[in-house]
Amino acid sequence: MSMSETHRLRAERRVAVITPVLDDWRCLHSLVAAVDALAPRIGRVSVFAIDDGSIEPAHRGGLAPVSRHLERLTIVHLACNLGHQRAIAVGLAHVAALGGFDLVIVADSDGEDRPEEFLRLIAQHERQPEAVVVAQRHKRSEGYVFRRCYSTYKGLFRLLTGKVIDFGNFCLIPAGQLDRFLHMAELWNHLAATIVRSRVAIVKVPTVRGERYEGRSRMNLVSLVTHGLSAISVFSDFLFVRLLLFCGMAAGGAGALGLAALVVRMTTDLAVPGWTTTVTGIAAVILFQVITLLGVATFMMLANRSAAPVVPARQALHYVRKTMVIESPCQTAPLPIAVRN
């Protein structure tokens, strides 16, 4: 392909950048400015900021107009706080409903997902256009405690599900794959785990974690635990099978322990008085607890499979309260913000 043809395709490529926001309007202002500076090298870029139930109004961040090269800046206000992952799901559904985009990039608004890395994701996409390109941080800058907790989360995820997850929300999704994700109920809980489950080809690009534009991260121990449990919930059936195996081994071990105690008591003189009763009692308690755990897990699994799932393609947009669109901010004259219900 000639250089002129490459430039022409780049100029025609439409890219949607989805970023969830919770009161971080000043950070969003900095992110939009950074994406705006890169837009001529990317294509026709539109930014969709998903307001996840913010208390602080968007105009306090001095948001409009902030760009010269973006095709559009849209703020999608949600009716309530859904959480980071579900806000992303709503953003993906909103972009899919609009249509006309070739690529969708998901990134945080605080600057930790550096806009400069967009170019690397897009370059990898050009080599493998059908794959989802994910940013894998090979260099992190969080504190020691957070890194240890995150490593524990990844280890537990692999132990409980048998899968490996070593990337986050920062990714590039080809428009052709968007419909698949939006019809997976798991997207409502966790984007990265849904990508792993989707069986779509995944390409990992090493990146460096950026610094926040300002303020402090809201991620804490509670958020990290909730995030980890949401990822594991995507593979609840895998977890259930492993729980069955664990319960089977525990029940077999308890039965063997009780049987061994009875054999020793009946065939030898080695047993201490009262020892057989104690051992068989402990084995019976373990067996009862295993059966109870297995029964509860089974009924919960059956109830979950019987319940109607939330399909983002059909239900996510119900949470959109209104959208504020700044049309063609690349024009020299400031344009009013249009409110669309």
Question: CA-CA distance, 176 to 201, in Å (whole number)?
Answer: 13
What order of strands is seen across the sheet that includes strand 72-78? 202-208, 132-139, 171-174, 103-106, 14-21, 44-51, 72-78, 320-327, 338-340
pTM above threshold 0.75: yes
pLDDT one-digit tens code per residue, 122-155: 999 999 999 999 998 765 555 666 677 777 878 8
Residues 178 and 29 in one domain: yes
Residues 24 and 148 in one domain: yes
Residues 158 and 213 in one domain: yes
Contacting residues for 236 by C-beta, under 8 A, at least 6 apart: 301, 304
Joined tokens for residue 124 = 């990898």
For residue 163, pLDDT beyond 60: yes
Residues 317 and 220 in one domain: yes
Per-residue pLDDT at 336? 38
pLDDT, average across residues 182-190: 93
Residues 50 and 98 in one domain: yes
| Residue bearing the bigger pLDDT, 231 or 334 | 231
Question: CA-CA distance, 204 to 170, in Å (whole number)?
Answer: 11
The total number of structural domains in the chain stands at 2
Residues 206 and 254 in one domain: no
Question: CA-CA distance, 60 to 26, in Å (whole number)?
Answer: 8
Q: Quick one: which of 186, 45, 64 has its CA closest to 104?
A: 45
Question: CA-CA distance, 45 to 183, in Å (whole number)?
Answer: 25
pLDDT one-digit tens code per residue, 212-225: 887 776 666 777 77
Per-residue pLDDT at 10? 66
Per-residue pLDDT at 327? 59
Percent of the chain past pLDDT 90, that is, above it, reads 36
Per-residue pLDDT at 170? 94
Contacting residues for 229 by C-beta, under 8 A, at least 6 apart: none
Cis status of the peptide bond prior to 334, with omega within 30 of 0: no
Question: CA-CA distance, 115 to 16, in Å (whole number)?
Answer: 13
pLDDT, average across residues 298-323: 84
Q: ∠ CA(107), CA(196), CA(141), 5° rounding?
A: 45
Distance, CA of 271 to chain centre: 56
Residue 22 · residue 52 · CB < 8 Å = yes
Residues 12 and 116 in one domain: yes
Say which CATH number the domain at 26 has.
Answer: 3.90.550.10
Question: CA-CA distance, 77 to 335, in Å (whole number)?
Answer: 20
pLDDT, average across residues 289-311: 80
Residues 120 and 190 in one domain: yes
Question: CA-CA distance, 310 to 267, in Å (whole number)?
Answer: 60
Q: What share of the chain is helix, strand, coil (3-state, %, to 5)?
A: 55, 15, 30
DSSP one-letter code for 129: T
| Containing structural domain, residue 277 | 238-306
Joined tokens for residue 111 = 């600057």
Contacting residues for 146 by C-beta, under 8 A, at least 6 apart: 219, 224
Residues 204 and 245 in one domain: no
Residues 183 and 298 in one domain: no
Residues 289 and 218 in one domain: no
For residue 119, pLDDT beyond 90: yes
Question: CA-CA distance, 28 to 217, in Å (whole number)?
Answer: 14
Per-residue pLDDT at 67? 62
Confidence class for position 333, pLDDT limits 50, 70, 90: very low
Residues 267 and 199 in one domain: no
Kindly compute the dihedral angle of the four CA atoms of residues 257, 258, 264, 266, in this order, to the nearest 10 degrees: -160
pLDDT one-digit tens code per residue, 196-208: 999 999 999 998 8
Confidence class for position 101, pLDDT limits 50, 70, 90: very high
For residue 270, pLDDT beyond 70: no
DSSP one-letter code for 57: -
